[in-house]
Amino acid sequence: MASCAIANGHHQPSYVDDEIAALTLQLEEIDLISSEDKGKYHSGSLPDTQIPFVSLHAEIQAHIAYLNDLKLAHSIAYAVDTDAQAIADAMR
């Protein structure tokens, strides 16, 4: 089971922010490598050497979106758990 930590008042797995930061750095590195490519090729047609970078970039972006969704889900669950008694009391 993953360990959890309270960060900014939200209960979430402690690795999520670290993983998002690491993936963001990878995106920056991919962008840097891609921007340094001075190759001449037709517009809309990537050279074979760029295709893996484009694919990896998209995959990393999708994983970052997943991790942000995970953070939101944990935040909502924490809020519901924290406020459950107050909500129940208000409904009486």
Please report where in the chains the tokens 């750095």 appear, as a residue: 25
Q: What would the two tokens of residue 35 be?
A: 């921007």
The secondary structure element, H or E, covering residue 4 is: strand 4-7
Amino acid code (one letter) for 2: A
Higher pLDDT, 36 or 3: 36
Angle at 90 between CA 84 and CA 91, to 5 degrees: 90
Give the residue-averaged pLDDT of 5-18.
66
Higher pLDDT, 39 or 2: 39
Collapsing DSSP to helix, strand or coil, 47 comes out as: coil
Q: Which residues contact 7 (CB under 8 A, 6 or more apart)?
A: 14, 17
pTM: 0.72
State the DSSP code for 78: H
